Amino acid sequence: MRLTKSHVVSGVLAVALLGATVTAWYFAAQARTPAQRAEETSEPDDSVISVRVDQDQLIETIDFDAVLDRTGDFKVPAPSAPEGIETALASKIPLKVGDEVKAGTVLLEVSGRPMIALEGDVPAYRDLQEGDTGPDVEQLQLALQQIYGTPKTGTFDSRTASDLKKLYDHAGYTRATTEEVVQDDTSDDDEGFVDTGDDAESEGNTGGAQTSTVVRGALPASEVVFLPDLPMQVGKINAKQSAPLSSEEPVMVLASGDWKLEAELPDATASELSKLGADAELEFGSGPFQGLPVGEFELETREVEGEADRWGEGETPMVEKTFAVFAFDKKVIEEADDLAPGEKQKVTLVLARSAEDALIVPLSALWTDAEDRTMITVLEGEKETERHVEVNVTLRHEGRGVVEPVDGELAEGDKVVIAWRDRGNG
């Protein structure tokens, strides 16, 4: 389309008019009266944050954790890997903390083979097999005697092997055996060979002599754990499922003996308990003793390992720590049979109690005037006029305080200032 000169002039005039209109609108929008500009540039008023005075009882307490345990423990060392296996792995962990351990209990499965608990005072120090003799064989027989009536002969005989097989069958594993090729004492004219029992297998004739493979019952040292006091209880399990066993720590810790409840105390708590002695007011919180009265306790000083230096170099220092040991009667505990070593019990030491109708405010409401008096600011009426009240603080705990007015009035529900916030600073 062809534009004429009149069309171009009209377009220029329209654009100029639009620009003038926009400019006029902008300056009109920016225009302010002197009063408006003064109001906008003046400092904003402060805002006040306040809370209501509460009327209740405030109790000053210290909480700490005690741990349930037993007086005796047994650390089960990591066994060697089964024959033909390079690394000992925890292939199965059949127990959990608190489980009972008795004769015949499988403590752990290591690379597919069991670690079976039996009663005895001497750790297994060698692999045993049929025909062996010695005091360790007697110990094995005495342990099996409690289950199967195995006679004590001091010789690993066929009865011992048979009862050991029963033990493995009950645990769900095949018994360990050894094999040996032996030569029979028969002549070439004899058709048979020496019968070595059900486990014997014929190997044929070698050089005119009849041979057979003798299978004998065995007990690898890695598959039995002799425990001095049964039954026991699982107190701790360090082994991890499908993970290699560490020779630097026991695979588990078993507990026995009397129950005990004790707490390693922070220094401040130990100081308070030592000062209060038998007059200390203690309560049981969450845990197996919740709701029961706290009995007598004793304070003991023990040496424990302290913290190593940050570089982990040198020996770990020994430091003195105070322990509180609590007496208790297991008979009064509900579900006492379900107690497990390592359970935590919350203990509360009550240091002070206010009156039940005490006036309580946040500690952030307190301030000190030029005369070093402790003050609070009360807001009154719709305009929230400020009124200052001098108070005494009689008890403080966890950010709250019990106050008593010295000069002025204070009542439940009064609004007290806890902060002044400048609006311009958010």
Predicted pLDDT at 209: 67
- Note if the pTM is more than 0.85: no
Q: How far is CA 354 from CA 56, 150, 387, 397, 411, in A?
A: 9, 69, 26, 11, 16
> For the residues 126-135, what does the mean pLDDT come to?
96
Q: What is the spatial distance between Cα 48 and Cα 365, in angstroms, rounded to a whole number?
A: 12
Residue 48 in this model has a pLDDT that exceeds 90? no
Residue 388 has what pLDDT?
Answer: 95
Average pLDDT along the chain: 85
- Dist. CA 202–CA 184, nearest whole Å: 10
For the domain 47-58+355-425, what is the CATH code? 2.40.420.20
- 387-410 pLDDT per residue, tens: 999 999 999 999 999 999 998 899
pLDDT in the model for residue 205: 52
Which pLDDT belongs to residue 364?
Answer: 95
Terminal-residue alpha carbon distance, the chain: 61
181 falls in which pLDDT band (50, 70, 90)?
confident
3-state secondary structure of 314: coil
Kind and range of the H or E element at 209? strand 209-219
Per domain, the residue ranges of the chain are: 47-58+355-425, 62-66+257-307+316-353, 79-186+204-249
In this structure, what are the phi and psi dihedrals at residue 269, rounded to the nearest 5 degrees?
Answer: -65, -40
d(CA 279, CA 282): 9
Predicted local distance difference test score (pLDDT) of residue 41: 47
63-to-79, 119, 270 alpha-carbon distances in Å: 41, 41, 12
Class of domain 62-66+257-307+316-353 as given by CATH: mainly beta
Helices and strands counted in the chain (H then E): 5, 24
Instruction: Give the tens place of pLDDT for each residue, 134-172.
Output: 999 999 999 999 999 999 999 999 999 999 999 999 999
DSSP one-letter code for 199: T
Helices (H), 194-332: 267-276
